[in-house]
Amino acid sequence: MFIVSTYGTAVFCCLITMLCWGSWANTQKLAQANWRFELFYVDYVLGIVLTALLLAFTLGSTGADGRSFLADLGQANTANLGLAIWGGVLFNAANILLGAAIAIAGMSVAFPVGIGLALVIGVVVNYLDAPVGNAGLLFGGVALVMGAVLFNAGAYRKLAGATAAGGRSGVSTKGLVLSVVAGVLMGFFYKYVAASMTTDFAQPEVGKLTPYTALVFFALGILLSNLLFNTYLIYRPFVGEPTSYRAYFRGSLRDHGMGLLGGFVWMLGMSLSILASEKAGPAISYGLGQGATVVAALWGIYIWREFRGAPRGTSTLLNAMLLCYVIGLGLIIAAR
């Protein structure tokens, strides 16, 4: 199977992960304006599953290192398969709750709370499980990336205040609670996927999973849980009117294609992060990937022009965000 052989390559993979995780949401913007997120999410999950299987039967089944996908599946310990599935369930719950929190409370609340918690919890938990890298540099970098997320939130808050028709309402308690729960779940999912895998990809341990097998069962966990979680939200959404699977099947080829593409982009990023974790360590790999929040902000600033006409002081916050982000990433990379 294909594996990452050097730390430099691992860092490159993590940067691609960051781009993928920060960019997949553009596919939802490119779908029709009336295409509900719950319906988009069905195709998004199918895209994740198909990408995991494609990688397993191509990169995961070629080369002299490690075990091929089917051989690895045949020797896998049931407990490790369960860990990968559980990681998928946790991720899916977190992702759906974060989407609901954004709809209720807005990005300026949901992202710094949800993704900020996920970043800090994820790095701490993964570092405790596999303490790879200089802790001072790693956590210093995480603090700066967290600062970048907060500056981004401040910019969104200024924009929202300027465009509000009347007085600004208070922060939704429901949206805040959903953001906290989403962040906690998002901070833990990676740990279970990493725990299911062998620590040596070239000479895998008996019973443990290679990255490609872990990713397939992670995707399976997302798919199975989505039959419950998203089906409930289709008929009982947090925001808006209920929809139905009948509406899903009336979607255009473009709508379905955008969902599948979104799932492919996100899962490609997840796959590269997992492949990089052997050389970079799970904490560094996850921490770099979660810098995706600021990548998403850059799309909003320069492509979607979300800050056009923003009030005075917004550009200062955005520049501070970029500075913290660049220095933070440098510290995380240097931590190994």
Report the Cα 228 to chain-centroid distance in Å: 20
Average pLDDT, integer, range 303-310? 78
pLDDT tens, residue by residue, 174-204: 888 898 899 899 999 999 999 999 999 999 9
16 neighbors 285 (Cβ within 8 angstroms) = no
Task: Tell whether the model's pLDDT for residue 21 goes beyond 50.
Answer: yes
Q: 208-212, 249-253, 299-303 — which is least confidently predicted? A: 299-303
Classified as helix, coil or strand, 299 is helix
Domain extent listing, the chain: 7-334
Exposure letters 229-252 (e unless 16+ CB within 10 A, then b)? bbeebbeebbeeeebeeeebeebe
pLDDT tens, residue by residue, 43-52: 999 999 999 9
Q: Tokens representing 133?
A: 């890298």
Task: Tell whether the model's pLDDT for residue 274 goes beyond 50.
Answer: yes
Lookup result for tokens 């409370």:
105
Q: What is the mean pLDDT of the chain?
A: 90
For residue 168, what pLDDT is reported?
46
pLDDT tens, residue by residue, 70-127: 999 999 999 999 999 999 999 999 999 988 887 787 666 677 778 888 888 999 999 9
- What's the burial of 111, exposed, middle or buried (CB within 10 Å: 0-12/13-18/19+)? buried
Closest CA to 147 of 256, 21, 294: 294
Residues 30, 11: Cα–Cα separation, whole Å: 30
User: CA distances (Å), 201 to each of 5, 129, 208, 211, 274, in order?
Assistant: 10, 17, 10, 8, 11
Q: Which amino acid is at 69?
A: F
304 neighbors 29 (Cβ within 8 angstroms) = yes
Closest CA to 222 of 28, 54, 73, 87: 87
For residue 46, what pLDDT is reported?
98
For residue 112, what pLDDT is reported?
75
Contacts of 169 (CB under 8 A, 6+ apart): none
Task: Tell whether the model's pLDDT for residue 223 goes beyond 90.
Answer: yes
User: CA distances (Å), 26 to each of 19, 260, 330, in order?
Assistant: 12, 12, 26
Q: Which amino acid is at 125?
A: V
